[in-house]
């Protein structure tokens, strides 16, 4: 095993992803060494490659929907052994001491969790690099067991898109008798439909794309509303207990707030940034409605979500690509032209660029 690893990185804002070589730390006693087989392509990868959030450190090796095979484990590792199929999501570490960490919500670590890429290792200060690469080394605590019965390549997006839509549905106790709307049918949205349906809710997709209606019904939607048609949105006034909003860019929340019933909540998972145009507080006050946000999910809940998927026969709908096609995949993602998650077959990293 050589220390030099191959991957794909962006080296500056606006630069295309290109082959990149780098090293990772030597495994620590609690580490699991994983040969990466599949890696999902999240819209957050695109945001960070483009420095949309203003915090990207280059070179950036994206990828936080990782599925791979264990090839080595440190001396204290007990839950995994060589040969196991495992997953790694958006986080690889957290302080472990603060109250969110102690409650299993490492994503809200008060001392900042360590992201799988675009972060800094809290022990050695080295940059973290993600899953568009050959191998990753992760502390056992942040490694997930992939249940038998889940197709590993279709399970990759569960590690971000899956948990990000699952966690708020659990937080707001969604189940039979509830009405849930999912806004945006992309990676997160398609999993939101599947989970809300499996939890027993009546599910509506709100989309800009009238052409996605049939697909949405196949994925679990009982109803589809087209957001450009204000009359359709108007008909849904006062209807939903929960709106799961996955739109990645600033947008008017007012029409979506008006679709909430008394005590309903609009949960933002897509937008990270200022809300514009302004929200009319009358929509909050008159129906005791709330706007909330939600970030991925903790390690324990990720395992719960993976087990829920195995029990309910839920997987992601994926389009497999080669790493050499990643820039084209980003272009398509920007146009919402993906059904519903690109997953990179990392075997392609072994091919020469011209292959």
* Interface ranges with Zn ion (CB under 5 A): 42, 44, 160
Note whether 6 binds ligand NAP by CB under 6 A: no
Axis-axis angle for helices 299-312, 187-198 (nearest 10): 70
Which residues in 41-56 are b (16+ Cβ under 10 Å) and which e? bbbbbbbbbebbeeeb
Two structure tokens written together for 327: 């820039």
Using the contact rule CB under 6 A, the part of the chain among 69-77, 171-179, 292-300, 344-352 near ligand NAP is 292-300
Using the contact rule CB under 6 A, the part of the chain among 31-39, 78-86, 115-123, 179-187 near ligand NAP is 179-187
Query: Which partner in ligand NAP, Zn ion, none is near 131 (CB below 5 to 8 A by kind)?
Result: none
Distances (CA, A) of 354 to 5, 38, 132: 20, 21, 18
Among 98, 233, 279, 295, binds ligand NAP (CB under 6 A): 295
352 Cβ partners below 8 Å, 6+ apart? none
Separation CA 114–CA 249 (nearest Å): 25
Note whether 333 binds ligand NAP by CB under 6 A: yes
Please tell me what DSSP assigns to residue 103.
T
Residue keyed to tokens 């599910």: 203
Q: How far is the CB of 177 from ligand NAP (least distance, A)?
A: 26
Note whether 336 binds ligand NAP by CB under 6 A: yes
Closest CB to Zn ion belongs to which residue? 42
Please tell me what DSSP assigns to residue 126.
P
Closer by beta carbon to ligand NAP, 73 or else 296: 296
Residue keyed to tokens 């939101």: 192
Fill in the per-residue mask, 236 to 255: x = in contact with ligand NAP (CB under 6 A), - = not in contact.
----------xxxx-x----
Using the contact rule CB under 6 A, the part of the chain among 3-11, 158-166, 273-281, 302-310 near ligand NAP is 158-166
Axis-axis angle for helices 161-171, 299-312 (nearest 10): 100
Separation CA 223–CA 192 (nearest Å): 14
Among 70, 136, 188, 253, binds ligand NAP (CB under 6 A): 188
DSSP 83-102: T-EEEE-SEEE--S-SHHHH
Note whether 184 binds ligand NAP by CB under 6 A: yes
Using the contact rule CB under 6 A, the part of the chain among 5-13, 41-49, 141-149, 298-306 near ligand NAP is 41-49
CB 139 within 8 A of CB 202: no
Note whether 208 binds ligand NAP by CB under 6 A: yes
Binding-residue total with ligand NAP (CB under 6 A): 30
Q: Give the Cβ contact number of residue 135 at 10 Å.
A: 18
Q: How far is the CB of 185 from Zn ion (least distance, A)?
A: 16
Residue 140: helix, strand or coil by DSSP? helix
Closer by beta carbon to ligand NAP, 33 or else 160: 160
Q: Which residues bind ligand NAP (CB under 6 A)?
A: 42-44, 47, 160-161, 164, 184-189, 207-209, 212, 246-249, 251, 269-270, 294-296, 333, 336, 338
């Amino acid at each position: 095993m050589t220390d030099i690893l191959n991957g794909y990185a962006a080296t500056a804002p606006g630069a295309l992803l290109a082959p990149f070589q780098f090293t990772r730390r030597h495994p620590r006693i609690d580490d699991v060494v994983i040969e990466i087989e599949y890696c999902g392509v999240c819209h957050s990868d695109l945001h960070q490659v483009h420095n949309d959030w203003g915090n990207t450190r280059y070179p950036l090796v994206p990828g936080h929907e990782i599925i791979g095979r264990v090839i080595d484990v440190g001396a204290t590792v007990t839950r995994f052994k060589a040969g196991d199929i495992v997953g790694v999501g958006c986080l690889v570490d957290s302080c472990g001491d603060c109250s969110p960490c102690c409650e299993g919500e490492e994503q809200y670590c008060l001392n900042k969790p360590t992201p799988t890429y675009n972060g800094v290792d809290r022990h050695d200060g080295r940059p973290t690099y993600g899953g568009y690469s050959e191998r990753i080394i992760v502390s056992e605590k942040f490694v997930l067991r992939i249940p038998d019965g889940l197709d590993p390549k279709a399970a990759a997006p569960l590690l971000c898109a899956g948990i990000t839509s699952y966690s708020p549905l659990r937080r707001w106790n969604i189940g039979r008798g509830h009405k849930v709307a999912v806004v945006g049918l992309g990676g997160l949205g398609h999993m939101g439909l599947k989970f809300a349906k499996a939890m027993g809710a009546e599910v509506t997709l709100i989309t800009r794309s009238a052409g996605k209606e049939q697909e949405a019904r196949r994925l679990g939607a009982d109803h589809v509303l087209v957001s450009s048609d204000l009359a359709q949105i108007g008909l849904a006034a006062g209807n939903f207990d929960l709106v799961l909003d996955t739109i990645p860019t600033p947008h008017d929340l007012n029409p979506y707030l008006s679709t909430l019933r008394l005590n309903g909540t609009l949960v933002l998972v897509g937008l990270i940034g200022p809300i514009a145009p302004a929200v009319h507080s009358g929509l909050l006050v008159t129906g005791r409605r709330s706007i909330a946000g939600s970030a991925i999910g903790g390690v324990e809940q990720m395992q719960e979500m993976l087990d829920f998927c195995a029990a309910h026969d839920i997987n992601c709908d994926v389009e497999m690509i080669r790493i050499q096609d990643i820039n084209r995949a980003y272009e398509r993602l920007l146009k919402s032209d993906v059904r519903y998650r690109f997953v990179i077959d990392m075997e392609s990293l072994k091919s020469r660029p011209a292959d």
